Amino acid sequence: MVLCVGSFFGAGNLGWQDYKSGRLKVSLPVYILGPNSRDEVSCYPDLEGSEICENVIYLGKQGCFTTNDGLRIAYMSGVNAADALAAKDYNYSIQNLQSLENSLHWDDSRYQGVDILLTSDWSRGISNRSLTKTQIRDAEVGSPLVSRLALLSRPRYHFSGLHDENFERAPYRNHQSGAEQARHITRFVALAKVGNKEKKKWLYAFNITPLKNLERAELVVQPQGSTDVPFTQSDIEIQGEKKQQFFYDMDAPMEDGKGKKRKNDNDGGGGGKKAPSGPCWFCLSSAEVEKHLIVSVGEHSYLAMAKGALTADHVMILPIGHHQCSVNLPEEVSDEIVKFKSALRKMFKKHGKVPVFFERNYKTQHLQIQVIPVIKEDATLVTKQFLEQASSQEIDLNDIPSHVPVSQLAVQGQPYFLVDTPNKETLFGRINPGFPIQFGRDVLCGPDLLDMPERVDWRNCKLEKEEETEQTKEFRKSFSAFDFTME
């Protein structure tokens, strides 16, 4: 097939009548976008998706279709309307983008992307982070609506025309490197006018296997020279629209802008997915999350280095969405957390260590499973130390059968402390007022385990951001061989 971007009809449409009348034939399917100016409108029929002559198909304003081979092709015709209320037949506006969203369902967690995106306009910001030079300033000709469409629809190829420039950008990733599960890359290709005097490239020939027929490992291959997504928040903002957050802020501060520390305390329990009462440090979509600490991201949960870690391999398992504790945790989230635990056990075993997992559902608003390894030889001491410390501090902590779910032990709203020991024993205790916040760290820092009493308080263990970033990279490298999210 042939896919045309930019303006299909030339000046005077010389020779077009021969094809329209049938005297000349088009030998293979040609798909075209709609008009880009008032002068072109008369060339198009009112019926979108129709043949305007044999084998020449006008796609319409916007939409997505699937070929017999399973190739998904999305498109949006025309040029950006300065004012949505005054949009003409050759314009698109935010309403066209919303219509595409309704048909593609890119907010569905199962949505992967489209194979090809066709637009006449360029994306604003497409040349950001690119070493390839272009004579066109995309800040002047690019459209924020097209940028948003490319960001949300995640095409494997994005073709544009209209501005008489050939620009083939380096592939860019459709995920935040190190913070999200790997996705496929996008190749942006802008083509010049047919037959231009400067002999700029106006034709791009390629073969493509439909996305749905590719194995994940093949689909997410990152070619050499791939960059992060080029768009910034300003590249996709629509004038007059209420601001929406589309990107994770990798440098999000842990203060409220007035020098005051954000609170994340909540004395209540519960396990439902509720909106946090204030800024949440651990919801992955939140600007409060420190993304440089993230190790791996699955479908429903993620792994991150601990802030103020006891050791260089102290990590946390957290749900992506807002769940306060393990009680009534959705099955798919719980199952993936089990996968992270299994992967960490295998990784630590390679280094002669065993992990201790514990959860404190008290004065927190987002589930955090702390993961702290001890040397293999001390595995049998963990249960003994937790029970002895609990007894000396009059804390109700008991060894329970491993097959008993937490939901049977903690009623909704009940604060509790939970430990999974290296010997697969489960310790559970209901929390009463006055419970020592650092109990889990206190036990592990004792002389019979890690023997580092000076590190009980996490605030004594804080590192500079550069050190945290380097520590995260080192752990990610060790974990990569066991990371099921990369399969």
Q: Which residues contact 379 (CB under 8 A, 6 or more apart)?
A: 354, 421, 422, 423
d(CA 303, CA 314): 11
What's the one-letter identity of residue 111? Y
Are 326 and 228 found together in one domain? Answer: no
CATH of residue 391: 3.30.428
Q: Which of 135, 139, 142, 140 is nearest to 200 (CA)?
A: 135
Q: Is 95 helix (H, G, I), strand (E, B) or coil?
A: helix
Position with higher pLDDT, 134 vs 256: 134
Does 209 reside within a domain? yes
Q: What is the pLDDT confidence band of residue 289, given thresholds at 50, 70 and 90?
A: confident
Are 226 and 296 found together in one domain? Answer: no
What is the greatest pairwise CA distance in the chain?
97
Does 147 reside within a domain? yes
Position with higher pLDDT, 19 vs 243: 19
Q: What is the pLDDT confidence band of residue 242, given thresholds at 50, 70 and 90?
A: low
pLDDT score of 90 more than 70: yes
pLDDT score of 79 more than 50: yes
- Please say which residue of 212, 235, 258 terminates a domain: 235
DSSP letters for 318-383: EESS-B-SSTT--HHHHHHHHHHHHHHHHHHHHTTEEEEEEEEESS-SS--EEEEEEEGGGTTHHH
Are 223 and 295 found together in one domain? Answer: no
Are 425 and 361 found together in one domain? Answer: yes
Q: Which of 222-226, 391-395, 476-480 has the highest mean pLDDT?
A: 476-480
Of the ranges 41-45, 169-173, 238-242, 420-424, which one carries the lowest mean pLDDT score? 238-242
pLDDT score of 283 more than 90: no
pLDDT digits (tens, 9 = 90+) for 431-442: 888 899 999 999
Does 262 reside within a domain? no
Q: What is the pLDDT confidence band of residue 265, given thresholds at 50, 70 and 90?
A: very low
Phi-psi category of residue 226: left, alpha or beta, with phi > 0 → left and psi -120 to 50 → alpha: beta
Q: What is the pLDDT confidence band of residue 329, given thresholds at 50, 70 and 90?
A: confident
Q: Is 227 helix (H, G, I), strand (E, B) or coil?
A: strand
Q: Which two tokens stand for residue 96?
A: 């066209």
Domain ranges, residue 65: 2-235
CA angle (248, 252, 253) in 5-degree steps: 165
Mean pLDDT, rounded, of the chain: 85
Q: Which two tokens stand for residue 474?
A: 């080192």
| pTM across the whole model | 0.55
Label the pairing between strands 398-400 and 416-420. Answer: unpaired
- Please say which residue of 170, 204, 235 terminates a domain: 235
| The pLDDT of residue 272 | 46
Are 310 and 207 found together in one domain? Answer: no
pLDDT digits (tens, 9 = 90+) for 404-428: 777 777 765 679 999 999 998 999 9
DSSP letters for 16-52: HHHHHTTSS---S-EEE---SSGGGGGGS-SSTTEEE
pLDDT digits (tens, 9 = 90+) for 352-375: 999 999 999 988 889 999 999 999
Backbone angles phi, psi at 361, to 5 degrees: -95, 75
| The pLDDT of residue 85 | 59
d(CA 310, CA 313): 8
d(CA 33, CA 67): 17
pLDDT score of 259 more than 50: no
- Please say which residue of 195, 210, 235 terminates a domain: 235
Task: Give the sign of the dihedral formed by CA 233, CA 234, CA 236, CA 237.
Answer: positive
Are 10 and 152 found together in one domain? Answer: yes
| The pLDDT of residue 269 | 40
pLDDT digits (tens, 9 = 90+) for 168-213: 999 999 987 655 678 899 999 999 999 899 999 999 999 999 999 9
| The pLDDT of residue 84 | 59
Does 388 reside within a domain? yes
Does 281 reside within a domain? no
pLDDT score of 251 more than 50: no
Position with higher pLDDT, 13 vs 28: 28
Helix (H) or strand (E) holding 470: helix 465-479
Are 305 and 202 found together in one domain? Answer: no
Does 410 reside within a domain? yes
| The pLDDT of residue 261 | 38
For the chain, how far is it from start to end, CA to CA, in angstroms? 34
Q: Which two tokens stand for residue 480?
A: 């990569």
Q: Which two tokens stand for residue 159?
A: 């073709």
| The pLDDT of residue 216 | 86
pLDDT score of 275 more than 70: no
| The pLDDT of residue 203 | 96
Q: Which two tokens stand for residue 452?
A: 């580092």
Are 324 and 411 found together in one domain? Answer: yes
| Residues of the chain above pLDDT 90, percent | 53
- 114 bridge partner residues: 155
Quote the number of domains for the chain: 2
pLDDT score of 258 more than 60: no
Q: 60 and 78 in contact (C-beta within 8 Å)?
A: no
Q: 235 and 124 in contact (C-beta within 8 Å)?
A: yes
What's the one-letter identity of residue 252? A
Backbone angles phi, psi at 337, to 5 degrees: -60, -40
CA atoms within 13 A on the CB side of 446: 17
| Residues of the chain above pLDDT 70, percent | 87
Are 132 and 12 found together in one domain? Answer: yes
54, 57, 188, 291, 391 from 117: Cα distances, Å: 24, 16, 9, 30, 64
Are 190 and 332 found together in one domain? Answer: no
Are 335 and 464 found together in one domain? Answer: yes
Of the ranges 73-82, 283-292, 350-359, which one carries the lowest mean pLDDT score? 283-292
Does 42 reside within a domain? yes
| The pLDDT of residue 103 | 81
Are 298 and 226 found together in one domain? Answer: no
Position with higher pLDDT, 461 vs 264: 461
Q: Which of 270-279, 281-290, 297-306 has the highest mean pLDDT?
A: 297-306
Does 250 reside within a domain? no
d(CA 269, CA 361): 6
Q: 310 and 454 in contact (C-beta within 8 Å)?
A: no
pLDDT digits (tens, 9 = 90+) for 113-166: 999 999 999 999 999 988 887 888 877 889 999 999 999 999 999 999 988 999
d(CA 422, CA 357): 8
